[in-house]
Amino acid sequence: MKIGFIGLGNMGAPMAANLAKTGHDVTGFDTAGVSVKGVNKAETAPDAVRGAEAVITMLPNGDILRAVADQIIPHMEKGAVFIDCSTVDVDSARAVADQAEQAGLLAVDAPVSGGIGGAAAGTLTFMAGGSDAAFAKAAPLFEIMGQKAVHCGAAGAGQAAKICNNMILGVTMIATCEAFALADKLGLDRQKMFDVVSTSSGYSWSMNAYCPAPGVGPQSPADNGYKPGFAAELMLKDLRLSQQAAESADADTPMGQIATALYEQFVEAEDGKGMDFSGMLPRFEKRGRS
Ligand code: NAD
């Protein structure tokens, strides 16, 4: 298949490389002039998408996605599929899908989970929103870049699933970290804390699979000086998207709101920028009640 790929950053570059490795004819464009092995380099975004049956975008945010969509949609072939894998706000995802459909294209919003490691290994999970026909056309590409793709519903449903998932993740990570810090102050051994909670009703992915306490549980960024992993500023981005969506849908999300405020403080006023999002634990360790 002839594929255009826009946004060859930490995630996009390995995703495009994996598509090229399986014999697809991939042409990429990135404003930073990035070259990726096996991927043809275009000089402009329209050059990357002309004649392509599928176009994938992997961009930083909704405003950039909207700007890129304006640039490329007029140059895409009718019937081609526009697959946006960036994490963006639900409103931008829906607006771009609308614009693509009005131009005779198929559209899927398909944010991913699995991070840079999953992108390189081709083991991402895709959460997709769009019509059945659009999903069917994109599915073989999801299979190459990932291990699972869930068709969540109409346009925007993929982004909705992603931000709801990550709102739960942000909240449970904070709860896990503050509970470890409390356990420390109560004189409870961290290994015992893990042994109990990971097999009791307080268990979660944050505790069981990504334990924020070094030397306890499975290998995680905590065992590597809290080097990301999943950076605290990316968690903040996703939490902000969850609150933006909650505003526009008039949903009450008090825990999501508190998690957003805490990650904001951690990243913007403390030393959290560049740290894994589980670095909340050393933050709580240093603090008292006031
Ligand atoms: P990144 O900053 O490494 O890559 C984004 C790329 O887009 C950059 O190379 C940039 O030069 C390029 N770009 C910006 N504006 C452009 C434009 N107008 N035209 C063409 N290219 C342009 O970011 P990333 O880590 O690859 O993340 C991409 C998306 O994936 C984000 O929405 C992020 O939230 C999401 N995501 C990231 C991770 C992760 O672990 N990094 C995990 C899941 C989802």
**Sorting pLDDT into bands at 50, 70 and 90, what band is 38?**
very high
Q: Pick the catalytic residue: 21, 162, 227, 273?
A: 162
pLDDT digits (tens, 9 = 90+) for 198-239: 999 999 999 999 999 999 999 999 999 999 989 999 999 999
Q: Write the CA distances from 42 to 106, 192, 284, integer angstroms.
A: 23, 55, 47
Q: In whole angstroms, what is the distance from residue 112 CA to residue 105 CA?
A: 22
What pLDDT is attached to residue 115?
Answer: 87
What pLDDT is attached to residue 121?
Answer: 97
Contact between 264 and 236 (Cβ < 8 Å): yes
Q: Which residues pair with 149 in a beta bridge?
A: 126
Q: Write the CA distances from 19 to 16, 69, 121, 148, integer angstroms.
A: 5, 21, 12, 16
What pLDDT is attached to residue 290?
Answer: 82
Picking from 246, 249, 280, 272, the residue whose alpha carbon sits closest to that of residue 163 is 246
Q: Is 162 in the active site?
A: yes
Q: In whole angstroms, what is the distance from residue 269 CA to residue 232 CA?
A: 13
Contact between 48 and 5 (Cβ < 8 Å): yes
Which atom belonging to ligand 1 lies closest to the Cα atom of 34? Answer: 9
Given a cut of 90, is residue 31 above it in pLDDT? yes
Contact between 34 and 11 (Cβ < 8 Å): no
User: What is the rounded average pLDDT for all residues in the chain?
Assistant: 97
Q: Which helix (H) or strand (E) holds 20?
A: helix 12-21
Phi (first) and psi of residue 40, to 5 degrees:
-65, 145
pLDDT digits (tens, 9 = 90+) for 57-95: 999 999 999 999 999 999 999 999 999 999 999 999 999
Given a cut of 90, is residue 147 above it in pLDDT? yes
CA 259 to ligand 1 center in whole angstroms: 23
The average pLDDT across 116-123 equals: 94
Given a cut of 90, is residue 168 above it in pLDDT? yes
What pLDDT is attached to residue 210?
Answer: 95
Contact between 165 and 113 (Cβ < 8 Å): yes
The average pLDDT across 166-193 equals: 98
Q: In whole angstroms, what is the distance from residue 212 CA to residue 7 CA?
A: 31
Contact between 277 and 232 (Cβ < 8 Å): yes
Pocket test for ligand 1, best of 5, 6, 8, 11 (most atoms within 8 A of CB): 11
Q: Write the CA distances from 197 to 201, 216, 225, 260, integer angstroms.
A: 7, 12, 23, 25
CA 88 to ligand 1 center in whole angstroms: 11
Assess whether the C-beta atom of 72 lies below 6 angstroms from ligand 1: no
Assess whether the C-beta atom of 62 lies below 6 angstroms from ligand 1: no
Instruction: Return the axis-axis angle of helices 132-145 and 12-21, rounded to nearest 10°.
Output: 90
Helices (DSSP H) in 22-156: which residue ranges?
45-49, 62-72, 90-102, 115-121, 132-145
CA 94 to ligand 1 center in whole angstroms: 19
**177 three-class SS:** helix
Residues of the chain with pLDDT > 70, as a percent, come to 100
Given a cut of 90, is residue 145 above it in pLDDT? yes
What pLDDT is attached to residue 284?
Answer: 97
Q: Which two tokens stand for residue 243?
A: 């609150």
Contact between 118 and 124 (Cβ < 8 Å): yes
Q: Which helix (H) or strand (E) holds 236?
A: helix 232-249
Residues of the chain with pLDDT > 90, as a percent, come to 97
Q: In whole angstroms, what is the distance from residue 28 CA to residue 83 CA?
A: 14
Contact between 112 and 118 (Cβ < 8 Å): yes
Given a cut of 90, is residue 272 above it in pLDDT? yes
What pLDDT is attached to residue 86?
Answer: 97
Q: Which residues pair with 2 in a beta bridge?
A: 25
Contact between 101 and 81 (Cβ < 8 Å): no
Contact between 141 and 19 (Cβ < 8 Å): yes
What pLDDT is attached to residue 224?
Answer: 96
Q: In whole angstroms, what is the distance from residue 46 CA to residue 38 CA?
A: 20
